Structure 1
Amino acid sequence: MSRQITAIWQGNPDAYGPRKYRRPCEYTAYLPDLLSAHPLDFSAELTADIADTERALAAFGGPGEHHLEQLARFLLRAEAVASSKIEGLQVNSRRLARHEAKVAAGAQGEDATADAVLGNVHAMDYAVQSVAMLDKVEVRDLVEIHRALMEHSDQPEIAGQIRTKQNWIGGSNFNPCQAAFVPPPPEHVEALLEDLCVFVNRDDLPGTIQAGLVHAQFETIHPFADGNGRTGRALIHVVLKRRGLAKDFVPPISLALATRAAAYIDGLSRFRYVGAPGSEPASSGLRDWLDLFLSATRRATADAAALQSRLTDLETGWRAALSPRKGSAAERLLPELIGHPVITAEDAMRLTGSSRSAAFTAVETFVSAGILSPVGSQQRYRLFEAAQVFQILTDYERASATESGSTRGEQPKRAVPYRQNRS
């Protein structure tokens, strides 16, 4: 039975901060039921929503004309950027791509926020390419996702470390007594994570429901000192890929959740009922959360399918304009620009498997055609970017930040990139 646990925060009279925050105070932590305790009884309406969502994922995940690997890489980064934005890490995709290309080329990185978001890219990639492929997911695998996320952050000491102290969300930085939510005390975390992994490894319930409940439970446990939201959203894609619902793509569900941020927080709050797992508060709380999660997944999938269409059209236009010789470095590089919209000449060599002279010639060809443009005046680590890719991504992010899917009659509901002058 889930319950609230009342405890006393001892306080520290020698700590920094106002006196009122240094005194002892009472707080309430939440201890959820094990996921295995939930009797999952789906209504006809919820069952229909599950079917609609899984059909949408199956249709989007099918083979198309576009280069699947490059679109998958593109979408994974869009998801990582969106998931980071929910946590207040504001980096647009162009800035991240430039930073990633500089780091890959060996240039000194000086963008701590972009480094943090790049850590989320690494965590997402590790989650979907490694953890999702395991026969059995264990607690240590969740820890490794967190390690990939945090090891290059400004808090590398907490990377892959399950918390041993009480944490909280909201309120003050000094104590949990005015917090919006206090997760389970640390002595309960290991058992809750073990149960979570048992639930991840099930295959006897719809994968979308499994992904939604795993995410909500993980956010409720909040097992790390930081990085819980981003790790928990990576777990959504671990489940979807394990269950065969998103084998080739990562639908950017975080974009849809970020657009409905208040509803997202409220849905997680309603998931945290008090009482027996079969009670009405439990059933209605789970149902409300799953309604939101399923609708966000459908919206993310529809938006990503529209994005796929625009990127396919862009690549087709490039190919028609260039008519690259079959087997040439230019032909091999062209589809790679979707997943790598900022490159160095050395990247062109690596991506095409071509000689230095052939790769440099391909880059020069794209620059002459207006497909690539040089960034800045620095000769060493010279970057070239496909600006049209970022124009499409900007339109996509702006549209996904509205309820209607269009910014023509509706302003974005969250921070989004500005459109660049396209003259």
Structure 2
Amino acid sequence: MRREATGTYDTTVAGGETVRAFTPMALPPSPDIDLREGLRQPFEAAAAALGRLDAVTELLPDTAYFVYGYVRKEAVLSSQIEGTQSSLSDLMLHEAGGVPGVLRDDVVETSNYVAALYHGIRRLRDDFPLSNRLMREMHTKLLASGRGAAMMPGEFRRSQNWIGGSRPGNAAFVPPPPNRVEECMAALERFIHATDDDLPALVRAGLTHVQFETIHPFLDGNGRLGRLLITLMLCDAGLLREPLLYLSLYFKRHRNTYYELLNEVRHTGDWEAWLRFFLEGVHEVAEGAVATARSALGLVAANRARIQEGRRASSALRVHRAMVERPVDSINGLAERTGLSGPTVAAALKLLQGLGFVSEVTGRQRGKIFAYDTYLGVLREGTEEPPG
């Protein structure tokens, strides 16, 4: 459905140039979104896949173990969209105290993403509302260090930004002027919590993502926070008990379509085309996450069975369990988390290496770090990690 007006334009100055900045109308769209107009089937398919993803967490022996790896997989993908080169292995090696194979700033930015997500989820579980205040708190975590640390962490922007192009005059899109950001975000917060429009939570999340990206309220980190917001809204609505749905890989694979549809919403108000794309992405990604969870569960069970066949199975099983929780770690780290002595952990790791499950990744004589390669392989499926 096409709508005549989706926002207004204001003349503003950016980078010494006078440009037209777009301020979107408050949500929900008018006229209302009609799920019967080509959206019923993709909505039902996405909702069903989301239900299966939520249910699969009951099959996992300890959901936190799988969430640890899956959250970091999303952090890597979302950060790669913004140009970082860190991989899942780089991130986990950094967290274990090793030296990743890429620029430190890239890994720090990815690690900050993990911190921002966990902060948001903790706050929601403490019954703190999904609000502008929470978004600013998460933004503070996201830009706590690294290249974005000087870009007003935790504060809405007070200067004009732009998207695409080498300068404001040839930008692909110019978001609202800084003096309109507060009112736009206040309206978005009201929409997030609205209960009088009969919109399903899944559709509300899709609409909110576009609106957030259009407002672009921060100087940096908008893309990453905008993608995080989708998962937070689904968890807040009770559609997911764990933060296991992430659309970064889908957006990355369909980058051109993603940007085209965002612009179509702004220019013509074609929210339905965007929602169809969004719901198809939720369906695809949720099904993929279910398959990954089942593969991980099967792999861990098969590996445990192999370990139980050998000697010193008890300590090896404890180390193996710790490596499911954190697939890259040092001997000292594993000793601390398992309660075993360093020599006992080292012997267990030698057994796991002999079985082909684990490898040492630093090549050092001291401070060795080990990776649960086969498990990391399952987590990496479907990602396009950069070399290095």
| TM-score normalised by structure 1 residue count | 0.81
Structure 1 residue identity aligned to 2:188: L
234, 244, 258: which one aligns with 1:240: 234
Aligned residue runs from structure 1 range 58-97, under 5 A: 58-62=51-55, 63-97=58-92
* 1:187 counterpart residue number: 179
* 2:145 counterpart residue number: 152
Aligned residue runs from structure 1 range 170-319, under 5 A: 170-172=164-166, 175-202=167-194, 204-273=198-267, 281-282=268-269, 285-319=270-304
Listed as ranges, the gaps of 5+ residues in structure 1 are: 13-24, 274-280, 398-414
Report how far residue 205 of structure 1 moved.
2.7
* 1:155–1:394 distance in 2 versus 1, CA, 3 Å: closer
> Is 1:118 aligned to 2:122, yes or no?
no
CA distance in 2 between partners of 1:330 and 1:130 (Å): 36
Report how far residue 5 of structure 1 moved.
2.2
CA RMSD between the two structures:
2.7
Structure 1 residue identity aligned to 2:362: G
Maintained 8 Å contact 1:307/1:396:
no
Q: How many residues align?
A: 376
Report how far residue 171 of structure 1 moved.
1.6
CA distance in 2 between partners of 1:416 and 1:237 (Å): 22
Report how far residue 8 of structure 1 moved.
5.4
Maintained 8 Å contact 2:112/2:141:
yes
Maintained 8 Å contact 2:73/2:380:
no
Maintained 8 Å contact 1:79/1:250:
no
CA distance in 2 between partners of 1:232 and 1:29 (Å): 20
Structure 1 residue identity aligned to 2:95: E
Report how far residue 169 of structure 1 moved.
0.7
120, 123, 147: which one aligns with 1:127: 120
Maintained 8 Å contact 1:30/1:183:
yes
Maintained 8 Å contact 2:6/2:265:
no
| TM-score normalised by structure 2 residue count | 0.88
> Is 1:169 aligned to 2:163, yes or no?
yes
* 1:235–1:363 distance in 2 versus 1, CA, 3 Å: same
Look up the SS of the partner of 2:165 in the other structure.
coil
> Is 1:386 aligned to 2:381, yes or no?
no
Percent identical pairs in the alignment equals 29
Report how far residue 270 of structure 1 moved.
1.6
Report how far residue 113 of structure 1 moved.
0.9
Look up the SS of the partner of 2:22 in the other structure.
strand
Residue by residue over 1:357-389, the C-alpha shift from the partner in whole angstroms, topping out at 9 and shown as x without a partner, is: 544443343233332211223244321011222
CA distance in 1 between partners of 2:23 and 2:187 (Å): 14
* 1:265–1:350 distance in 2 versus 1, CA, 3 Å: farther
Listed as ranges, the gaps of 5+ residues in structure 2 are: none
Maintained 8 Å contact 2:231/2:243:
no
* 1:40–1:153 distance in 2 versus 1, CA, 3 Å: farther
Structure 2 residue identity aligned to 1:61: D
Residue by residue over 1:386-407, the C-alpha shift from the partner in whole angstroms, topping out at 9 and shown as x without a partner, is: 122233334332xxxxxxxxxx
Report how far residue 215 of structure 1 moved.
1.0
Task: Provide runs of 4+ in structure 1 moved above 6 Å.
Answer: 324-327
